[in-house]
Amino acid sequence: MAEDLAFAAERSFLAQEFLTWLWFRCEVEGGEFELDAGPVAMVVEDALSFTSWDPDGTRASLRGGTPTVRPEAASALAAGLTLKRARLLAARGEREWHFSLDGETLDLLGVKVPEVEDKGDDDGVDKLAEKLALGEELRAMVDGLYQVFLGVRLGPDWARIELPRLNDWVRQKLDRAWQEVLAASSN
């Protein structure tokens, strides 16, 4: 049991990789995923927290505006930092969830669930139960996405295809960031 816990704890970095990979997939492939429970569309929205693997290492935060396209975000990735936390949007059909995902624990924070439709006082719908079910549905979506990531991460294509693509994405973001910085300084 203690061994299992230690084994799991040593691999908790996978959540940070997952969050960073999710951002990559959102930007490069549009963020649409087909999960067992149905499709989901993801957007990395705001409040990006980066950290290095070294526990005493660099931390950086970006919030407001559109932080995902800021040069600072590209620089952080290029310096080897990964996402520790971010504010995301998940959409399934017409329904949208806004939430933060913790890249250490996979805890969900500040989840705003889709509006529970008000059908009057006597509609027989328990609004609390419905809200909790929507929270649970989001948890299942995140678990499903994490499993998609694990399939790629632990598979043979990770080192051969996915990691080079991630690095290519970082490089392109950095190139764009430099162009922005140069354009800003020439004005």
Calpha distance 69→61 (Å, rounded): 14
Calpha distance 8→120 (Å, rounded): 47
- Which residue stretch of 30-38, 64-72, 87-95, 179-187 sits at the interface with other proteins (rule: CB under 8 A)? 30-38
Interaction residues for other proteins, span 57-116 (CB under 8 A): 77-78, 80-82, 102, 104-113
- Which residue stretch of 59-67, 87-95, 135-143, 179-187 sits at the interface with other proteins (rule: CB under 8 A)? 135-143
Residue 57, exposed/middle/buried by CB under 10 A (0-12, 13-18, 19+)?
Answer: exposed
Comparing CA positions, the residue from 135, 173, 18 lying closest to residue 86 is: 18
Residue 148, exposed/middle/buried by CB under 10 A (0-12, 13-18, 19+)?
Answer: middle
Q: Which is nearer to other proteins, 1 or 184 (CB)?
A: 1
Q: Which is nearer to other proteins, 151 or 187 (CB)?
A: 151
| 129 contributes a contact to other proteins by CB under 8 A | yes
89 membership: H or E segment, kind and range: strand 82-92
**Residue in 2, 7, 120, 121 binding other proteins, rule: CB under 8 A:** 7
Q: How many residues of this chain bind other proteins (CB under 8 A)?
A: 71
Q: Could you tell me the two tokens for 90?
A: 């998940």
With beta carbons less than 8 A apart as the criterion, state whether 81 and 112 touch: no
Q: Which residues contact 58 (CB under 8 A, 6 or more apart)?
A: 50, 51, 52, 79, 81
| 154 contributes a contact to other proteins by CB under 8 A | yes
Q: Which is nearer to other proteins, 13 or 123 (CB)?
A: 13
- Which residue stretch of 29-37, 61-69, 88-96, 179-187 sits at the interface with other proteins (rule: CB under 8 A)? 29-37
Q: Which is nearer to other proteins, 159 or 187 (CB)?
A: 159
**Residue in 18, 22, 42, 67 binding other proteins, rule: CB under 8 A:** 18
CB of 68 to other proteins, least distance (A): 15
With beta carbons less than 8 A apart as the criterion, state whether 88 and 27 touch: no
Q: Which is nearer to other proteins, 17 or 61 (CB)?
A: 17
Find tokens 């504010």 and name the residue.
Answer: 87
**Residue in 115, 123, 151, 181 binding other proteins, rule: CB under 8 A:** 151
